[in-house]
Copies of this chain bind each other. A is one copy, B any other.
Amino acid sequence: MFSDADMEARRWLRDMMGEAGLNATIDGVGNVFGASPNPGPALLIGSHSDTQPRGGWLDGALGVIYGLEVARSLGENQATSHLAIDAVAWADEEGSYLSCLGSQSFCGVLSPEEEISAANHAGETAEQAIARVGLTDVERVRLDTTRHVGYLEAHIEQGPKLEESGDVIGVVTSIVGIRTLHITFSGQQNHAGTTPMDRRSDAAVALFGYAVTLGEQLSELAGPTTVWTFGNARLDPGTESIIAGRADLVLQFRDPTDDVLDRFEQAAFAHAEQAAGSGPVDVSVKRARGPIPPTKMDDHLQAHIARAAEGRIPGRWVHMPSAAGHDPMILSDHIPCAMVFIPSIDGISHDFAENTSDEDIVMGCRVLADAAATIMS
């Protein structure tokens, strides 16, 4: 985000939006915005154009080009040329500086303090990056609730479910909530030779047992799409001849419902209490900052997408939650949102190998355009 190549791509996109007849601009936070010259109400369609390091060609960019293409193609058709489609490419959804920077700015929920404190890996803040690319004094596009009646975003699934079920379109029901817990095991560091087994307070053994038993409990508590991950574990001091005195475990879990997230959290706390009570090692659990609540997509917009999918590919579409985060997590607090997924080959994403068949890419855009037309009609 905000690299020379990124800004060159944004200027290219702005020019393409202009050629499509939109009033195109790069706003003060890097969002590329193409406003239809037609009077409102307007439907906003787009995605983000940034991705991860070594990410693929579809993540984000696909939905941006869909927005442009839907605006252009509806404009070319006499039956729909009166409809107002505003196209957008959000800045920094992936959070090189701050996750959903562009959509936060658009919704007016981004404070100047956040722009000053949010920094990339090299230590450059969002404010500095914006100054570097010459956008400091450029106006920011804001959500206009008198004009914008909804937001649609298409995206690759980034997972294997559509491919496995043989469906071409996923109508996103919600974006999963994410919570992270930090679990700390406090035992007694000691000599690995001279400390008998029955005298040990081994934080590593406590961590392994906790993870295995909690994992079994979570399997029982999970909903149909819940995922959970022990993404990190560290032993201290972590050398072969010393019994670990401390160990740290990170558990992240995602589900479309607060109900499951609550159950998981309760299980992690309860099992920590139980483990600490029955063993020699103290176990404590802390919630990480910034849990992400589940975000429901708008039922009315979903119904339009489902109808469009059924029209194009009868029986080959499904309702599904999104297991990854997207800009509608921000936007849906302010404007009705819906999302369209198309398949990811082998479920791969955030990798150069990310891909989708040409046929599926074309079909995704057709369904999105059909839905946009019926929503606005």
Contacts and interface: CB of A to CB of B under 8 A. Distances in A.
Interface of A: 157-161, 176, 178, 180, 191-197, 199, 202, 204-205, 207-209, 211-212, 215, 219, 222, 225-235, 238-244, 250, 252, 254, 288, 323-325, 347, 349-350
Contacts of A222: 197
B238 A231 contact: yes
Given A180-B240, A241-B252, A252-B241, A324 B231 contact: no
A192 B349 contact: no
A158 B241 CA distance: 14
Nearest to A192: B229
B178 A193 contact: yes
Contacts of A195: 159-160, 227, 347
A291 to B, nearest CB: 12
Given A180-B240, A204-B229, A240-B250, 5 more contacts: A194-B347, A205-B230, A207-B233, A212-B212, A233-B235
B176 A193 contact: yes
A180 B192 CA distance: 12
Contacts of A227: 192-193, 195-197
B161 A349 contact: no
B240 A232 contact: yes
A90 B325 CA distance: 63
30 contacts: A157-B194, A158-B193, A158-B194, A160-B195, A161-B196, A178-B193, A192-B229, A192-B231, A193-B254, A194-B347, A194-B349, A195-B347, A197-B219, A197-B226, A204-B233, A207-B233, A208-B208, A208-B212, A208-B233, A212-B212, A229-B240, A229-B242, A230-B235, A231-B240, A231-B241, A231-B243, A232-B235, A232-B239, A240-B250, A241-B252
B194 A159 contact: yes
Q: Which 9 A-B pairs have the closest CB atoms?
A: A159-B194, A192-B229, A193-B323, A231-B240, A208-B211, A158-B194, A232-B238, A194-B323, A193-B324
Contacts of A229: 192, 202, 204, 240-243
A136 B223 CA distance: 72
